[in-house]
Amino acid sequence: MQDNPQTPQLPRIGLSQGDFNGISYEVMLKTFSDARMFETFTPVLYGQSKAFSYYKKNFGMESPNYALTRDVRQAGDKKFNIINIVENELKIEPGSPSDSSAEMSVLSMKRAADDLQNGLIDALVMAPDNPLVAKSNRDFLLSFHKEADPLQVLVCGQLRIALATGDLPLRSAIDQIDIRFLVSKLDTLAQALKTDFGISSPKIAVMGVNPHSGSIPMGDDEKVVKAVGDAQHKGLFVFGPFSASQLFAAGLWKKYDAVMAMHYEQGVFPMKFLSTEGYAYYWAGLPVVCAAPLHGPAYDIANQNKAIPDSYRKAVFLAADVVNHRREQ
């Protein structure tokens, strides 16, 4: 989207509201209370101004002020924009999910995803949500891109960990791993590192499945060895397999631009352990940009002004950075 060919518009970042009974509005308010956030992108919340005002008043926050708009194309720069997804009264019950909060989360996601598919926003950032609703919302977004090979990539600074398989039972995740599958995921990651992070010749470390995979490949690790070889023949700079202790205990991961983990916990644990200032993820391999913080709605601290916004802020900046890198291609 451009004002004119010489002046690119600030990236327009759509925000879904997540579960308004959790910490979603709190981390949003804390993130955008810093006026510097509006210098590099324009936020548009698909949510409810009443919920925004409710939490802002409860936390005694003076900023940010918001502007209502009915059409995302009319969203103003240098301000926090809200599109009210409904005009109904809402019952906010901090601390527990409700049918109403789930319904509004789904509606928020659908409105935002529609504008994302139609190119009216440049990226979408999902707020913390009930895990079941969050999965449904992610599936809805991915349903628009059945031909794509989406790959979840966790990011905190220079630490990037891709998850070859999603949050599946371990046995199901391992059953999903085969040579062609891994080569495809490695290719998706390599291309994403080029287009989304500006790394011209990315190097990728590949984790194994079993203990001691770096020195004694066995069982499923033989598939990983073959996939690494096939990916190298395609011209990708991939290496491994490595065990988790090899990569993370002594900081070997720092020699690579990204790590490919075989299953969810194998990638999420080192990310949470090594990252002290928040972490986020986005979907590589999609023509659209969608990011989110790597945590849930934290109902136990909802409405207590205890939520730390670092991961949500990381997700917003991650989305904006990917948009800007893609614009440079």
Delineate the domains of the chain, giving CATH numbers in brackets. Answer: 1-148+286-329 (3.40.718.10), 151-284 (3.40.718.10)
Count of residues in the chain: 329
pLDDT value at 327 more than 80: yes
% of residues, the chain, pLDDT over 90: 83
Query: Looking at residue 216, what is its pLDDT?
Result: 61
How far is 217 from 208, CA to CA, in rounded Å? 8
Query: Looking at residue 89, what is its pLDDT?
Result: 79
Q: Which of 11-20, 49-58, 193-202, 204-213 has the lowest mean pLDDT?
A: 204-213
Output phi, psi for 196, to 5 deg.
-100, -15
pLDDT value at 67 more than 70: yes
| pLDDT averaged over every residue in the chain | 92
pLDDT value at 61 more than 50: yes
The model's confidence at residue 138, banded by pLDDT at 50, 70 and 90, is very high
Tens-place pLDDT, residues 84-105: 999 877 899 999 999 999 999 9
Query: Looking at residue 222, what is its pLDDT?
Result: 86
Tens-place pLDDT, residues 225-252: 999 999 999 999 999 999 888 899 889 9
Are the C-beta atoms of 282 and 317 separated by less than 8 Å? no
The model's confidence at residue 3, banded by pLDDT at 50, 70 and 90, is very low
Query: Looking at residue 168, what is its pLDDT?
Result: 85
pLDDT value at 299 more than 80: yes
The model's confidence at residue 8, banded by pLDDT at 50, 70 and 90, is low
Can you point out the beta strands (E) in the chain?
Answer: 2-4, 7-8, 12-16, 42-47, 66-68, 80-84, 123-125, 151-156, 159-163, 203-207, 237-242, 258-261, 280-284, 290-293
What is the average pLDDT across 63-92? 92
Query: Looking at residue 221, what is its pLDDT?
Result: 83
Query: Looking at residue 185, what is its pLDDT?
Result: 97
What is the average pLDDT across 124-129? 97
